[in-house]
Copies of this chain bind each other. A is one copy, B any other.
Amino acid sequence: MVRHAIDASDKAARRQAILAAAGRLFLRAPDSLPSAAMIAAEAGLAKGTVYLYFRTKEEIFMALLHEQRAQQLDQVQRAFAPGDARSPREKVDAFLDDYVSHIARHPEVLKLDALGYSIIERNVEADFLLASKEAFLTAFGAAGAAVDAALSLPPGQGVRMLLHSHALTGGLWQALDYPEHCRELIARSALATSALDFAAELRAALGQYWRSLSL
């Protein structure tokens, strides 16, 4: 039997352990949400224990999604932090490079995001859902404001640019993430020239978009 988590920090750590286990499993097979049994096993806990920390399986992935989004917004904040002597152009390029390479290395972010609104929300209590979303919207607004400030944009423009970038990222990934066995088919088609390299395609599209709007 696992050590009892008595004080708050123990409990937070155990919660994190469950999240990490869920993330690992999802990364391994992102077609669907891993079962509660698998999450428990991966975390080295009993099935019942998981339900001491989360009310439903979906709440776990909702929390995971929330965490990932928070990290992405942190990245925005760092990229456009005040008191930075670089030119807007440099800031944007650096940000987009980071952003795209991070996405390319962690495609599970996109998978979770895609499942997000269609599957995960189903089995989550309203209070949890609203709290998560509220936190996200707040952080999202703050990140947009940071962009506005760094690039001298009119208020609201940054938020919209982040939104569009997110949309293009998700949509492009979805359109290009063909399963392995379709690759050959596509290679012979009209999409052949451009579409196979998601990261390059995304970087180019975002570069053009940000340049046209902000510089």
Q: Quick check: is A119 within 8 A (CB to CB) of the other chain?
A: yes
- CB closest chain-B residue, reference A136: B189
Number of chain A residues close to chain B: CB under 8 A: 56
A193 close to B156 (CB less than 8 A): yes
- Interface status of A93 (Cβ within 8 A of chain B): no
B31 pairs with A137, CB closer than 8 A: no
> Taking A118-B30, A140-B190, A182-B130 as contacts, is the C-beta distance between A167 and B159 under 8 angstroms?
no
User: Is A160 part of the contact surface with B, judged by Cβ < 8 Å?
Assistant: yes
Chain A 161-174 interface 0/1 with B at a Cβ cutoff of 8 Å (1 = within) = 00110111111101
**Nearest Cβ in chain B — how far from A86, in angstroms?**
25
Question: Among A117, A168, A177, which residue has the most Cβ atoms of chain B within 10 A?
Answer: A117
